[in-house]
Amino acid sequence: MNLWTMLARANELYPRELAAVDGERRLDYATVFARASALGACLQDRGVHVGERVAVLEHNSVEFLELYFACAAAGAILCPLNTRLAAPELAAILVDSEARVLFANRGFADAVRRTLALGTAVELVVWLGGDAGRLDDARTLVYEDTLDSDGRALRVAPESEVVVAQLYYTSGTTGRPKGVMLTHRNVSEHALAAIAELSLSDRDVWGHIAPMFHLADAWATFALTWVGGRHVFVPHFDEERVLDAIERERITITNLIPTMLNRLVRRDGVEQRDFASFRRILSGGASIAPEVVHRVCQVFGCEYVQTYGMTETSPYLTLSLLKANLALLAPDEQFRFRAKTGRPFLAIELAVIGDDERPVARDGVAVGEIRVRGATVTPGYWNRPEETRAAFKDGWLCTGDLATIDAEGYVQIVDRKKDMINSGGEKVYSTEVEHALYAHPAVLEAAVFGVPDEEWGEAVRAAVVLRPGARADAAELQAHCRERLAGFKVPRAIEFLAELPKTGTGKITKLALRAAAAGDPGSPRV
């Protein structure tokens, strides 16, 4: 099915219901539908054909939502761009995707000019948020001018002609970014499964707080629209702005990156806020320490759900929702399952495969690689047939994530394959050491990684950000870890940084930390 059907359904059933809250703007579904229809017609009139790529460089906004649906209707492939990328990185994506049209917030005008000067296929730039002036390298329009339909009629692309809906480029923390193709079927199947799993309805108010250019948040664009829910947009992450939006707009559900959650729950005065509207808070995009989960439950007072997924899977693979039998357990036992990576998402078949290519024992101890298959899994990478073939084995997508699985079917990720540290023949999983560090009251953020070592092959190293006003030195944190971990897992060295390097989605990236440890002058220093 064409994803446009979701917005069309919302317009038919909920035309006068509030669809979007974006700053002072409050739009009902009839208005959003009309604007997206005009935008789709404009794309077609500008010669954007089925299968062509349209890029967008924008903060969270109602315009971003409209673009997701307008491109789907026109049969174009939307390519969301990470707002934190540098001009050469943006240019590389535009060249690889061969996007001819770029929608960009006027705040990125300088970046757009530098990017286009490097040479791309972009012929038209549409400014969001107001006019940012003319360009030497492309024609320009202002977004609101594209909504003047002038009698144009949107021609919704036939389902038989529509295949790929979106093209998401990976963050590049593991190498050269690849364009992950998601089809209309991938996205619609995921939306339906999320609606069922999370009991989404027209009573829900979703907070678009994590970036909409990333699937940590983008999937909700479709699921919430399909059920006629309300979208609340926070342009970019700021603790006070986020907390204000939750209170003022009575947000009921959202998905946040662990680093975002950690900063919210440690914000001064957060306990005095009113979070009664929250019914469920999701965390995904990276591992989260149990100590942070405890704090999230204490502060927000609603159901906490750990999630795990990949861009390649639309994204969810697991949720830590409790099965009926587990909901009967004592609170401490329930928490043990809630803080796990979770059991398989409704649309996914999941296996944990050991080095012998057989499923590992379901004992919560044996470690293997998570492999998945299902209707929400990408058909592959844009123009990368060899890398697509390498990502799959016997029809299963190899995630590269190492995990255990217990008798209840709940998995627990212990590390990425690339992040596992081999020290003197002993396997050290970085997440276990990070969880130990997060248990120290002075630690705000922590990242653990391996560095080359002549004696041990690899040595365990940590980078830490302390909470404002807190004090701790390396010896104290090492002693704290030694009380909880075997000696070979304790970091041999701990660096103290003002901030850990992060991707555009807010996930901590260890690539820069490893480079700094190797003496790269362009990397973050202590």
User: pTM of the full predicted structure?
Assistant: 0.85
Residue where the block lists tokens 């949107």: 154
Return the percent helix, strand and coil in the chain, to nearest 5.
Answer: 35, 25, 40
Domain with CATH 3.40.50.12780 in the chain: 237-416
Q: Enumerate the CATH 3.30.300.30 domain ranges in the chain, comma separated.
A: 421-517
Distances from the Cα of 389 to the Cαs of 317, 370, 378, 382, 385, in angstroms? Answer: 21, 17, 12, 12, 6
Q: Which of 520, 321, 383 is nearest to 53 (CA)?
A: 383
Instruction: Indicate the Cα dihedral angle 252, 257, 258, 262, nearest 10°.
Output: -70
- Identify each DSSP E strand in 376-420 by its residue range: 380-381, 392-393, 396-405, 411-416
Stretch(es) of the chain classified as CATH 3.40.50.980: 4-177
What pLDDT score was predicted for residue 181? 98
Which conformational region is residue 52 in: left (phi greater than 0), alpha (psi within -120 to 50 degrees), or beta?
beta
Query: What's phi and psi for 278, nearest 5 deg?
Result: -65, 125
Q: What is the pLDDT of residue 525?
A: 36
pLDDT score recorded for residue 521: 42
How far apart are alpha carbons 226 and 191 in whole angstroms? Answer: 8
Q: Which two tokens stand for residue 400?
A: 């590269």
The angle, 0 to 180 degrees and rounded to 10, between the axes of the packed helices 29-45 and 62-74 is 50
Residue 349 pairs in a beta bridge with 373
> What pLDDT shows up at residue 149?
64
The CATH class of the 421-517 domain is alpha beta
The one-digit pLDDT tens for each residue of the chain (526 residues) are 999 999 999 999 999 999 999 999 999 999 999 999 999 999 999 999 999 999 999 999 999 999 999 999 999 999 999 998 889 889 999 999 999 999 999 999 999 999 999 999 999 999 999 999 999 999 999 999 999 866 679 999 988 778 999 999 985 444 578 999 999 999 999 999 999 999 999 999 999 999 999 999 999 999 999 999 999 999 999 999 999 999 999 999 999 988 899 899 999 999 999 999 999 999 987 778 888 899 999 999 999 999 999 999 999 999 999 999 999 999 999 999 999 999 999 999 999 999 999 999 999 999 999 999 999 999 999 999 999 999 999 999 999 999 999 999 999 988 888 888 888 777 788 888 999 999 999 999 999 999 888 777 789 999 999 999 999 999 999 999 999 988 889 999 999 999 999 876 677 888 888 888 876 444 443 3
Q: Which residues pair with residue 280 across a beta bridge?
A: 253, 303
- At residue 160, the pLDDT reads 79
Among the four given CATH numbers 3.30.800.10, 3.40.50.12780, 3.30.9.10, 2.40.160.40, the one describing domain 237-416:
3.40.50.12780
Give the pair of three-digit tokens for residue 308: 């795990």
Task: Determine contact, residues 57/97, Cβ cutoff 8 Å.
Answer: no
Tokens of residue 513, six digits: 């930390």
pLDDT at 512: 82
CATH class label, 4-177: alpha beta
Single out the residue of 25, 123, 100 nearest to residue 65, CA to CA. Answer: 25
Tokens representing residue 218 in the block: 């983008």
Amino acid at 475: A
Measured N-to-C along each axis, helices 258-265 and 290-300 cross at an angle, to the nearest 10 degrees, of 50
Nearest by Cα to 309 from 224, 216, 397:
216
- Burial readout 487-499 (b: 16 or more C-beta within 10 A, e: otherwise): ebbbbeebbebee
Distance, in Å, from the CA atom of 282 to the CA atom of 304, rounded to the nearest integer, reads: 6
Tell me the C-alpha to C-alpha distance, in Å, between residue 461 and each of 68, 289, 421, 493.
42, 18, 10, 5
What single DSSP character describes residue 444? E
> Which one-letter amino acid corresponds to residue 507?
K
- Are 491 and 448 in contact by the 8 Å Cβ rule? The answer is yes
57, 108, 131, 160 from 504: Cα distances, Å: 12, 15, 25, 35
Report H helices in 376-488. Answer: 385-391, 430-438, 474-482
